[in-house]
A and B are shown apart, each in its own frame.
Chain A
Amino acid sequence: MTKKWDATSEHLLRELAPQVLGAVARRFRDFSSAEDAVQEAMIAAFTQWPQEGIPENPRGWLIQVACRRMTDRMRSEIARRERETAVSAETENFVPLPEIEADMDPDDTLILLFMCCHPALTPSSAIALTLRAVGGLTTAEIAHAFLVPEPTMAQRISRAKQSIKDSGVPFQLPGGQDRTQRLRAVLHVLYLIFNEGYTSSAGPELRRSDLSHEAMRLTRIVHHLQPDDTEAAGLLALMLLTDARRLARTSETGELIPLAQQDRALWDRQQIAEGVALLSATLPKRSVGPYQLQAAIAAVHDEAARSEDTDWPQILALYDLLGRMSENPMVALNRAIAAALVHGAAKGLELLDALETDGRLANHHRLDAVRAHLLELAGDRTGAIGYYRRAAGKTGSLPERNYLLTQAARLSDELCD
């Protein structure tokens, strides 16, 4: 009896991908070829299951198809090398499925995540490989999400796997100290994937909001497998609390709407509640890290009924803590805004002056954008207009450029009135 293909089927299929990959990689001791074989099995499933129905044992089906691909490949390798035309007994298609399934380990998905997010890989390689090997997305889907041609994305993934092979990473969980560091790397990649999806503008970009959901799904898996890791929980909370605002972030015409002006009725209250609950369970464990702090800041914003109800002193205190943990200049910029809202624009501007000498911010549009915002708060419209326009000229983001120009225009209109 086969099950019919429906809306949840694709989700199921993708959930199985890392389990299947773990099983096949473990059996053949070849992550790279196994990954190709599983990708082919996935594509076969995507093609056949909607028409023929989902098999009785979908995971077993995928394992068998992937194994068949592996043995076919090995057979043609051997034949090529030894010029044998006869098929030797060792390369039969028969695959002892129960044996393979018995060897499976619930940690396999975690092992795969560690491998795909290995620090030896560039962020874009790690992202691509993670989405394919662990996320179960096809190369075409990933290429589409990142707006590059499919062969390009296929190559990025190929090269990523080669790097892993070259680094000799074993198919097992990293131990001790290494584990903590490697987990940081995994969380970082998931954070990057989330941001890719979250920061896309509205329009025909549905695939990209899927990226955020994919990041959340994978982070949930990490949290589930490492329930004691407070930063994994913190990251999940941060994603929930940030994604909750998605619908309010852009207007119908694709314009960016800042937090202060968002229609809070459009925020997803359920997601906020989930994020807050997660944070409340995590913070008391007293192993506070940057993701938890960012999540806490997002929670303070999300819990304010109206923009004017925002507890800025608490946000400032959280940024003070975050600033001590993180070298990221963006944190300092955000802290300056919070400081301005608590102590007055002059204080915020003072903090910005100190940042002017930070090499990483030189020529960065955000410094100008924040200065413009604070000058406006201070009542210096002319100054603000100038800095909004300067920032608009520097930003690499079209929606942001439009937003900044519109702010300048708004103030300019006020001056003329």
Chain B
Amino acid sequence: MKYILLMSGTKAGVEGYHAWPKQDIEAHMAVLHSINQDLTDSGEFVATQGLAEPKEAKVVRGEKNGLPVTDGIFPESKEFLLGYWIVEVPNAERAYAIAGRISAASVNMPIEVRQFATHEAKSR
């Protein structure tokens, strides 16, 4: 089963992270990198992505006169997706264990775990 593990934060949180000493940021990246490596070794890794700054985020609502209607203004408290992992594991418990590890490596911030809906139909 495929699960997505979501790491979110607010603009303030991201700014705080950027203010960390460089070696702490690098150490964090290194731990995440080794988690990804372990997931590849275990055959569970599907994908991981980091997303660009929340300050670049835009929300699009429909079209007007053929053009997208965009808005880049968000409340300070809004939580943005910072990055995600997609893993393929036999059950939810394993997904939670991986999420726990990512969380522990990231000042224990909570990681949201969601199951993918597959494109496959179930057999009849």
Contacts and interface: CB of A to CB of B under 8 A. Distances in A.
Q: Do A and B come from one complex?
A: yes
Interface of A: 122, 124-125, 147-149, 151-153, 155-156, 159, 195-196, 198-201, 203, 205, 242, 249-250, 256, 258-259, 366, 395-401, 403
Given A122-B90, A148-B88, A399 B121 contact: yes
A258 B121 CA distance: 11
Contacts of A399: 119-121
B61 interface: no
Interface stretch (B43-51, B73-81, B99-107): B43-51
A397 B123 contact: no
B116 interface: yes
Interface in B50-95: 88, 90
Contact of A396 (B40, B45, B115, B124): B115
B122 interface: yes
Contacts of A156: 43
Given A149-B45, A151-B40, A398-B119, 20 more contacts: A124-B43, A149-B47, A152-B40, A155-B42, A155-B43, A196-B120, A200-B120, A200-B121, A201-B119, A201-B121, A203-B119, A249-B121, A395-B122, A397-B119, A397-B120, A398-B117, A399-B120, A400-B122, A401-B117, A403-B121
14 contacts: A124-B90, A149-B47, A152-B43, A152-B45, A152-B46, A199-B120, A199-B123, A200-B119, A256-B121, A258-B124, A395-B122, A397-B119, A397-B122, A401-B117
Interface residues of B, number: 21
A307 to B, nearest CB: 13
B41 interface: yes
Contacts of A198: 123
A396 B1 contact: yes
Contacts of B47: 149
Most interface-central of B44, B115, B124 (chain A CB within 10 A): B124
B28 to A, nearest CB: 23
Contact of A398 (B46, B118, B123): B118
A156 B115 CA distance: 21
A150 to B, nearest CB: 10
Nearest to A403: B121
Nearest to B88: A148
Contacts of B118: 396-398
A195 B123 contact: yes
B116 A396 contact: yes
A348 to B, nearest CB: 16
Nearest to B121: A399
A201 B120 contact: yes
A142 to B, nearest CB: 12
A397 B43 contact: no
Contacts of B41: 155
A398 B118 CA distance: 6
A403 B122 CA distance: 11
Nearest to A256: B121
